[in-house]
Structure 1
């Protein structure tokens, strides 16, 4: 789940490494990540954010001041250059021709800020774009084209299946096998993950929003959409080995030393009947697509004190012209992100760290 880190004094030592499938099993998101929520009291049949965040924390280890998922990352600063082509579909000011500043974050899944870069193939890219009128668009994307499950309950079960066994420090393969067998909707994700090699570059990955939203035009008409960003940054780097450490941040800085990095923002328009409440299903490839402009990243910052450090990349913080769909993962993400944010900022305050730059809103 895209979220910030704490200053060095609050950091804890690395826990035992979790296997690649353990990370995939409990930390796919990004969008991404803590997706188990339903309003109401805690009972065996309902989920609240605390249960999901507790499980993420149990799986990844407690690292005070860090995000409970996507704990390891790097801040980036840049802009969105709109070409105006999406303005006919959304009245959001950022889609008018011109520039909108952004603060982003690349990250790995999982709650361990010391995890090896090559331990898992998932990468995430979160953005906060701020319009001149102060309204913001926050979005969290991942480099996988589908999410493994469609509901908060299924995600919670996935987290439970990926919990490390105290005796081994690794998930129980039989529990994971049973989970996937009982959730056939995970097939598309598993097919993607099976042969996916961990990339050595954030810059060469495409990132998918996964959840559906609606663009609202000036006439009040709604258009169901999904978005992704596609890189224009040269060749992909060679895959990482499982234990490669801190390669991604170094490689990103090396690329940025040569100039800005760019991704095209592509918006796909749904046809009637395309699912908006199921992130495990892709829309047909022949759906209309809008090239809305270019995401430009100009420089990177340490997540310890960079501008992304205290941003909650809540996917329901949206400007006029974008609204949430009926996807049940969206309110789940929002609620769990808020719970994680409250925990890490409280931990920083208790440890005497500097106050957060921005409260959740």
Structure 2
């Protein structure tokens, strides 16, 4: 039996308290620096969210981006083919994992017409049997426009609506894109992109890279996509600003909706920390399983309303890459979540 430790002397207690206090102070200082509190000129999550709020308008209680959307619920059934790449329990053959998701369009206006933007998004929260979660936000586009949080902030400033016209100033936007050649791939795509008539026929991409970690601790750089079974989108009804939700409910009334989760593996030399660079189409892919959506709930009262789809909430077996956008997304999502839930608690929500 281990003998009891002798009581601490006064000097030892003082040293221990000092040590604990120093750790708290250092941690707080580091957190303050990340938050921008100790460096007012430094880009902070709050400043990023401020620009989104400015551009999208004042809509208390709503997300500052992807404000318009609908909750969906379903299940993910693993094929087992990704189990050699990741030790995450949800990839084991035949495992069924409940999923809570949200389909949405970009922008801070929850009343925007579905045809106002050509991009759709899909956020998911997988909850494993052991309680660990995987949260991911994907977009129906091939690449992200910019590489860094600062460039994303500058993009929001450059494309802010002009008070006189309600639209971005072409000169400011043009100057931004001219100074950022990394946006060329995105611009090449968006020039021909058109608003789809259905959430269900879209493929959604992680854009950022992550690492799958296998049972031996080996890391595999990956991106993932949701690829739909459906491919029969028709033009949205004329005059219906909310045709995406209408189409989604109509399809669900006829039966469940399915996507395949396809994981793409990077090859040696592929860029892992830059979401503006697409990997070549010949990269190895693995069908990790099938996502089945069974039902919808309205966003104002559905269970996804209070979920922060932070892309760095990851289970054992998945890790974030060094892409700087990941940490920025995580911090900005947290700030947006804090604002909207505080507004709801104060009764300021416009819902």
Divergent runs of 4+, >3 A? 37-44
CA distance in 1, matches of 2:281, 2:69: 32
Deviations 1:223-269 (A, max 9, x none): 0000001000231222677x740100010000000101011100001
Stretch deviating more after TM superposition (123-132 or 171-180): 171-180
Q: Are 1:293 and 2:283 matched, yes or no?
A: no
What is aligned with 1:184?
181
Between the two proteins, the alignment pairs up a number of residues equal to 315
SS at match of 2:162: coil
Q: Which runs of 5+ in 1 are unaligned?
A: 1-36, 354-361
CA contact (8 A) 1:126 1:140 kept: yes
Pick closer, same or farther for the CA change 1:195–1:284 going to 2, 3 Å.
same
2:166 maps to 1:169: yes
* Cα-to-partner distance string for 1:90-127 (whole Å, 9 max, x where unaligned): 00000012210000000011100000010110100000
State how 1:87-106 maps to structure 2 within 5 Å: 87-97=83-93, 98-106=95-103
Match of 1:132 in 2: 129
**Over residues 311-336 of structure 1, what are the superposed CA-to-partner deviations in whole Å (9 max), with x where a residue is unaligned?**
00000000000000000000000000
1:185-220 deviation digits (Å, cap 9, x = unpaired)? 111111111111101100000000000000000000
- CA distance in 2 between counterparts of 1:132 and 1:106 reads 24
1:57 aligns to 2:53 (yes or no): yes
Superposed CA deviations along residues 246-302 of structure 1, whole A, max 9, x for unmatched, are 100010000000101011100001111111110000111111110101111011110
Indicate the residue corresponding to 1:78 in structure 2: 74
TM-score for both structures, normalised by structure 2? 0.87
Tell me if structure 1 keeps the 8 A contact 2:60–2:348.
no
Tell which has more relative contact order, 1 or 2 (C-alpha 8 A, sep 6+).
1
Alignment partner of 1:189: what SS?
helix
Query: What is the aligned partner in structure 1 of residue 114 from structure 2?
Result: 117
Matches of 1:57 and 1:108 in 2, distance apart?
15
Report if the CA contact (8 A) 2:262-2:287 is conserved: yes
**Which runs of structure 2 are paired with 1:292-331 in the superposition (5 Å)?**
292-331=288-327
